[in-house]
Structure formats: structure tokens, C-alpha cells
Amino acid sequence: MLKILITIASLLFFCKFGFAQAIFGISTTPPFVVNLQDSFATTVAKMSQVQNFNFGSAASTGTPITNATQLAAYFSPYQDLVGTAKGNSEFESYVGFSNTGNFVFNSNNLALTATLNSGSANPVQSNQSSGTSYSNTADGSTANPIVHFGMSNTTGITSGMVLFIYNAGMYYVNTVVANTSISLTPVLGAPASFTTQNSLCVFFPYYIAPIGSSSSGASTTITLTVPSGVTTGMQVINVGGSSAAYFQGTPSTILTVSTVNSGNVVVSSPVTTFANTGSPGSYTNLALFYPLIQSGQIWLSSPNYYGPGFNGAQAIATSATFQMPTGFSKFNFGTITAGAPSGSWPAYWIYPGGTDTTAWVDTSHSEIDIAEFENSVFSDGTVWGERTHGNYVEETGLAQIIYGDLSSEWPGGAPTISGSYQANSLGTGLNTIAGQYANVFGVDLTAASHTFGLIWTQDSVYRYLDGRLSSRISFKWGAQRPPQIGLDLAVGSFAPAIGANAMFFPGSSSQFPMAFKISNLSVWTK
């Protein structure tokens, strides 16, 4: 009789729980709960550590990554979905692990290193216009007096040279009347009519010219009026009126100028995506030549994808310990000060991965920026960017909800808030709804290594700095592709909102090499 009762009880339990789960897919496992007052270490102690990578030639604990061979066993130098040497209209080109100058193993870290391989990043002129408001026209022919740009002469300025104007955009010089005037053409969405007043105006040895035609074989010949500053070894990309495209054949292809002739240049590799269409200033009509900058990135490769709902995980956590690039910063009206190098863009983030292009059909974009630092002319490493893109609901301005609710319960006491929350320090185009910046602990993040952490549950992401909670945002992954964790060192951008509008570019050749030193990357699952 007792055996029958036990059997009946078992059947009832299955009917109540197992049947519902088996038939309807309903999970009876309680959701993973993050207590806001707990430290990162306390929370991940409730999870299982699945990855513990320690980087450096002397690394010996966890999974030591001491050389490029070990690095390649777990990581890829290219992000799965982007899959190329470039992204975000960035200056640099990413390279493979065999480029030892861009993947430097120090004794206790791996330094993702940006190198200047050819050309110059030094400005030809940098000026601040006066307090007078000047109207300017950029139509390729109108002569604009040089005083409008704070210039006293035109020394070094040549046709085709790129001019960045803060809060106006990116232009190239058509004609120069010595020490008198310049005519300009706008690119990448810069306005044809604009004013200058106390504006930072920087001429760089980058060059733009309209493309006449092209022909491809073992290499590509581009017919155009070649600006005098174009030299062999420079990178070549394709830009237009509103966006930037790339001459891009394979992930490892970095297109550079191999030969400069009168009336054409020869590009090092065949170009498979280039087409000369449209009118002047359109998407595919201009060639941009600029110094060859190479850098490194690492992405956890298949099958190491981690996120709630992927590979059986209900929640995941990840942390990375690194030191940002240091050196020269804030190339502000010709004055260079100490800090993170201007143009350096180190990031620790999660992006859709997966290499099977047929199995995944994404319906929305998702991205979690655990920590990124856009070090521009006007910001430095004390400003920490956290952004969450895709299918999310922004709770409030980053850590404000934490401070408002739990300041008295903060482990070790409430943090000191330095300054106000910055909706966007680099220009409106950098923002999404959750695209806010804060240095929540008043810490100079360039001074030493720090540990940045993320706990990601089915409905929220929690970010941590050195074990202390900094923010919580409601979030659900909107992409069907699995989440891929990566770290990279980008260098500035030509994108309209985060290029000239933010003066987000390298400020001098002396800033190179830039090193993003990573000591540890860990992952936990629940």
C-alpha cells in the first residue's frame, strides 16, 4: 500500500511539474537573483566558473595564455559577424595573431597594441578660430578666408588634404590661395554651410580625391588626380557624402598603396566590393588615403559563446582585468597633456557571434558594451562608457537607481560621485537611449589595472567596477545569434558622429604604439 502511495505521489509530481515542463517548455528552476548590495565576487560564488584565462608569458594558473599558439586555441583575431579587418569606420585595421607587434606578450599581460606602420599622424596645422562667428560654404569652389579657421598662413596645406572642424564635420581641400583662402568639399555627412566660432580646426596628412575609374586584376588600379601627399604604404578606403565603405576582399585584406603614378595609384590587392557609382560626394565616389595603423583584438571563438538561453545557461557573468593605453591625450588646440592617447578606443564587449551564416537569421541587433573608452580631444580615461544596444528598457541614468536606493547599504560605504552624469561626452551620434557615460567612483581609470565585470540574467545586465556595482539595466538579447565576448583596441573613427564631430582621432605620431594590457578574462555560468 505504501509503495502504491509513493508511486501515485510521484505521478502527481510529474503531472504538476515534469509534464508541464516537458510539454509546454515551462522551467521550474527559479530565476537567478542578483542582490544589488552584494559584491561581484559574492554573486559569482553562486555560479560555476567555466573560463579563467590568465595572459602573459609567465602566466601559469587557470588557463594560461602565454603565446600566440595558445591564444589561437580559444580566440579569434576577427569578430564572427563583422568578420573583417575593419569596423565602425575605424582608422585601424585588425591583424592576425602572427603579427607579434600587435599581440605583445609581457610577463603578466597580453598587450593588444596599435602601431603606426606608415605615414604620419601629426597634424599639419591645428588652430582655434576666434570668437567671431564666420559663415562658410563648402561646395568645392567658394573661397573661404583662412581667418575663418584661425589660420595665419597656408603653410603645408595642399589640395586633397583633410580638415576636421569640431561640431561641423570632415572636409577636404579643393584649392588653396596662398595665405588667403581655401575652398572645401564636405564628406561623410558634413554640412555644406556651417559657421566657425571658437572652433577647433585641424588639418591632417590624410588625402581625399574623386575617383575616375578602376580596374582589377592581381591588384587594383584607381584612376584619379593624385594628391601630392599620397605615398606608398598608406591605407585606402572608399568614402562619400554620408558614409564610409571599405575596399575589402577577405578578413585579412588590408588595402594599401603599392605604387603612386601620375594620374593613378595601384592598390596592393584585388578589390571585389568596389564600384564607382554616383555623383561627386556620393557613397562610392571618393578615395581616402591615410596612414597605415594596425591593431589587435581577441574574441572567444566557437563553441565558447555565453549568454542566458545559450548553451543551457540561465545567467552568466564575465570579468576582465586590464589597463588602458597611457601616454598623451587631449590634443586640444595644439596642447598635449598626459592621459590616455587621443583616438584610443579600448573596449570589452559582447556582440552576436556564430560562423554558420545559414543557421541564424537575426531579427534585431544586440550588443552589450561592458566597458569602452572613447578617448578623444575632449575626453580621457576618467570617462567610462557603458552602452546596451538592442531589445532593452533603460531603467534610469546608469547607477542613479543604485545610489538612490542603496547608498546606505553599499559594501564598504557609498561611493563618492565625481561630477554629473554625462549624457554624451563625444557628440550626439554616439548615443543610443542607454548610451550614457559616467565615472561612477571618481577613479582615474588610466592610472592602473582595473577589473570590469558583468552579470547578465534573463532580464537584466549588471555592471561592476573593481567588484562594486555601478549600474543595472533591463535587457533581453534580441539577436538569434549567440553572444560572443571580445576585447579590442580600436583607434578613432571616420564615422560622422564619432569622427570630426567628436575630434575622435589620433593626435600625434608620438602616441604610438598604444597598448591595451589584458591580464585576465573569466566567465561563469548558472
- Is residue 408 classed exposed, middle or buried when 0-12, 13-18 and 19+ CB atoms within 10 A define those classes? exposed
pLDDT tens string, the chain, 526 residues long: the values are 433 433 444 444 334 333 333 333 344 578 899 987 788 999 999 999 999 999 999 999 999 999 999 999 999 999 887 777 776 678 898 999 999 999 999 999 999 999 999 989 988 998 888 999 999 999 999 999 999 999 999 999 999 999 999 878 889 999 999 999 999 998 877 899 999 998 889 899 999 998 876 666 566 788 889 999 999 999 887 776 554 444 443 445 677 899 999 899 988 766 544 444 444 333 357 888 999 999 999 999 999 999 999 989 999 999 999 998 886 555 444 454 556 777 888 999 999 888 665 555 555 567 888 888 777 765 544 455 555 555 433 333 333 333 333 333 334 444 443 333 222 232 222 222 233 334 445 556 777 888 999 999 988 888 888 888 777 777 778 777 889 999 999 998 887 666 555 677 888 888 899 999 999 999 999 9
466 beta partners:
none
Neighbours of 81 (CB within 10 A): 19
Cell numbers at 366, concatenated = 544586440
For residue 194, give the nearest of 291, 256, 129, 110 by alpha carbon: 129
Cell numbers at 513, concatenated = 604604439
Cell numbers at 325, concatenated = 593605453
CA atoms of 457 and 396, how far apart (whole Å): 18
Answer whether 0.85 is exceeded by the pTM.
no
β pairing state of 63-65 and 48-55: parallel
Are 375 and 344 a contacting pair, CB within 8 Å? yes
SS3 content of the chain, % helix, strand, coil (to 5): 10, 40, 50
Three-state SS at 10: helix
Cα-flanking dihedrals φ and ψ of residue 392, to 5°? -145, 165
Three-state SS at 51: strand
CA atoms of 296 and 85, how far apart (whole Å): 10
For residue 170, give the nearest of 158, 151, 187, 147 by alpha carbon: 187
CA atoms of 205 and 199, how far apart (whole Å): 20
Cell numbers at 272, concatenated = 571585389
DSSP 8-state symbol, 396: S
Q: Map grid coordinates 578606443 to a residue.
A: 345
Cell numbers at 65, concatenated = 595564455
pLDDT of res. 277:
43
Cell numbers at 482, concatenated = 549567440
Domains and CATH numbers, the chain: 40-117+295-525 (2.60.120.200), 119-291 (no CATH)
CA atoms of 284 and 7, how far apart (whole Å): 73
For residue 123, give the nearest of 103, 94, 93, 151 by alpha carbon: 151
CA atoms within 13 A on the CB side of 417: 15
pLDDT of res. 485:
97
> End-to-end alpha-carbon separation of the chain, Å?
41
β pairing state of 93-94 and 293-295: parallel
Q: How far is CA 241 from CA 161, 172, 189, 190, 210, in A?
A: 16, 12, 5, 8, 12
Are 238 and 288 a contacting pair, CB within 8 Å? yes
Distance of CA 417 to the CA centre of its chain: 26
For residue 441, give the nearest of 461, 396, 411, 486 by alpha carbon: 411
